[in-house]
Structure 1
Amino acid sequence: MVKRILNIQDAAWVQRVTVWRQVKDVLFIGIGVVMASIGLKGFLLPNGFFDGGAMGVSLLLEMVTPLDLSILILLVNLPFIYLGYRQVSLRFAIKSTVAILGLALLVHYIELPTITADKLLIAVFGGFFLGSGIGFSIRGGAVIDGTEVLAIQVSRRSSLTVGDFITVFNVFLFIVAALIVNLETAMYSMLTYFSASRTVDFIINGVEEYLGVMIVSNHSDEIKDKITYDLGRGVTAFKADGGFGEKAKNPDRHVLFCVVTRLEVTRVLTEIEKIDPKAFVIQYPIKDTKGGMIKKRPLH
């Protein structure tokens, strides 16, 4: 189907790219689930600490209800999975469901010895393992903490950005934790959240909420159609001349530019590679925007 529509690449190459992407996704998600379960069972749960986001809500509910954490992880993330299906794709929702189910099973069945009793080490390394799990899962095209999916939905309906919403959500969560549990646990848990969030940023190479993607390719028309019609994302085509060699003699080439979320960038890169494996692709974080479909950040 792709070969017939684009008429530039053989089906065998497209199949290899697709299979290799799927293998990497499974590997990343598997590593993420294992890392997150180590952070929970080896550090946070034995010491009554929790994190931010949907995982923090699950841990907080586990402290104040008789429900098992594995069940709470599933229940809390179900609405986020549905939002992921509506906002991203069915494939994203399926992969996230499998990842969250795997995490719930590991949390329920595995037993790990208590690694340390030092509260500072628990907060820092518990956050590190949990953040690694979230980061690797995102690299695999899934989430095990659905707060970002909710944040994307809220950002499209209000003046809050993804980052702003996550900050407000977690501030409220830690205030509730301080009232229900105690202030000291809430403060250590804030450190856990900070460690986890920095680790997530590191795992996914410092990717911000939105990424600018610039594509230089001899097959720019096919890539533009793929991103626009199949992926449903806007693309701007700039007329450009090559700067050196034979490419400098081609005055009619185009450079493509699009803005996507970090949950979508993996799929965009995969589709580009299917069409033109030699395409020159530049990714960079979007710090601020004005106009267009991306709203200006009110708190920055």
Structure 2
Amino acid sequence: MTMTHAIRIERTGGPEVLQWQDVNLSDPGPGEVRVRHGAIGVNFIDVYHRTGLYPLQLPAGIGLEAAGTVEAVGDGVDHLKPGDRVAYCNGPTGAYAQARVMPARVLVKLPDDIAFDTAAAMMLKGLTAQFLLRRTRKLQAGDVALFHAAAGGVGLIAGQWARALGVKLIGTAGSDEKCQLALKNGYAHCINYRTEDLVSRVKELTDDKGVAVVYDSVGRDTWERSLACLQPFGLMVSFGNASGPVPPVTLTDLAAKGSLYVTRPTLMTHIADRATLEQMAQELFDMVRSGQVKPLIGQRFALRDAAQAHAALEARATTGSIVLLP
């Protein structure tokens, strides 16, 4: 058993509950591997775990996404060996660590030409973009959709991916600077929600038709306006709660607004099957290696400064992805 360092929480709350601690690192057991992290991704789901919106059994590690090198493998692990470069984004929680022991089944091999920090910036966000654009509704060239938080980590990858598919994405962001960043990353239009009326601007951009799909990770603050942007038979994809949980859905409202569809998908459901995880990851890697998707790392923090990263993320003061360096 060796000693390492990790960020852990003993109670829920603000960024201050993230504690830098010494932890014991055991040898991997059956079906497990020990991974030495090269970079760790920060995602809004980490905030949900920290605040208790998505409860964890405390005390607990935190973080779902990282990339690194396999140091040791346990019995029964035949698809990985020491020295393999790997990445993951599907838990269990505990990625905010210099090294950890974890189930081998959640790891995918990382191509040699994708750096650890790039992988940590793109696994959860890139696979989220993949299931949104390619699985929740398989968008086709010419489709028009609305994507909130266009300058965030998922949003920037989605914009580039949509451009490669020939899909017209309308983005939203909270400043002109963030809108310009979104436009540089594949968006056909970007609406500054602080200075423009979202619904009227979407209707203007779509000749009053509305969009086929809304992708909304903001939640409570955008819910009603998102529904108002949809065309008849449109699909509302709620995949996050950055501003808080959405209000209860009244089915008669969906009927009155045009026979709308609503779904609340999660990445974890999509990648629960290992064969599907491998297929989705390969498609993401192919997009990155082709140059059609270039993940943007907007901020880097030392692992021990994870609280600062969370504070910046919650203040919506970030662009692209946040990476922690062990």
Instruction: Provide TM-score, normalisation by structure 2.
Output: 0.24
Judging by fraction of residues, say which structure has more helix.
1
Q: Between Structure 1 and Structure 2, whose CA radius of gyration is higher?
A: 1
Judging by fraction of residues, say which structure has more strand.
2
